[in-house]
Structure 1
Amino acid sequence: MSTARWVLHLPAAATSAEGVDRLAQALRDSLRHVPALDFGELTISAEDDQSTRRRVWCDAPLGGDRRCALRTNHPDRCLDR
């Protein structure tokens, strides 16, 4: 029997896409020690189009528990976080 899981939705606002990206980076940097948080799944959207979301980080699997820590659509090879 599996344990039920719950998801936290934390609305935050910024006046630009770059600003919300910086906020996401600051949250990941300051809270990466909290194992319950999965910043690889973090997405952002325009306030008036919240059904269209984009991922902030690549998060591609690199083997084992490792994931890519670079931004989405990065031009170089994936890097471990």
Structure 2
Amino acid sequence: MPEPRWIIHLPTTLTSQDAAAELAAALTRSLGHVDVVDFGETTLSEEDAQHLRYRVWCDMRLADGGRCGLRDGHGGSCGATELR
């Protein structure tokens, strides 16, 4: 049986989903070199509704084995751009 993965919940004082997504993008740019963090799986939730999560990145699997690095809900085709 594989070892369980752990999730770090990082509360903020931000009051909008867009601002929280921008912070998540800044953290991804800043800490992207840390290979133990799966930034593609980043989600957001309201403080009192943590069971309801919103994806930050599309993260769709691509034919070449990579993942889409565009924001969730993007228009057009998925692409292997870096998470930003």
**Interval of TM-score (by shorter of Structure 1 and Structure 2):** 0.7 to 0.9
What runs of 5+ residues in structure 1 fail to find an aligned partner? none
Cα distance, 1:2 vs. partner? 4.4
Runs of 4+ in structure 1 displaced over 6 angstroms? none
Q: Percent identity?
A: 49
Aligned equivalent of 2:39: 39
Work out which structure has the larger RCO, using CA pairs closer than 8 Å and 6 or more positions apart in sequence. Answer: 2
Give deviations 1:21-75, integer Å, cap 9, x for gaps.
11001000111111101111110011121110011000011122x1111111111
Structure 2 CA distance for aligned equivalents of residues 54 and 23 of structure 1: 14
Structure 1 CA distance for aligned equivalents of residues 11 and 37 of structure 2: 15
Aligned Cα RMSD in Å? Answer: 1.7
Aligned equivalent of 1:11: 11
Number of residue pairs matched by the alignment: 80
Q: Does 1:57 align with 2:39?
A: no
User: Letter of the aligned partner of 1:55 in structure 2?
Assistant: R
Structure 2 CA distance for aligned equivalents of residues 57 and 19 of structure 1: 15
Normalised to the residue count of structure 2, the TM-score between the two structures is 0.81
* Counterparts in 2 of 1:50 and 1:5: CA distance versus 1, 3 Å: closer
Structure 2 CA distance for aligned equivalents of residues 57 and 36 of structure 1: 17
Cα distance, 1:13 vs. partner? 3.4
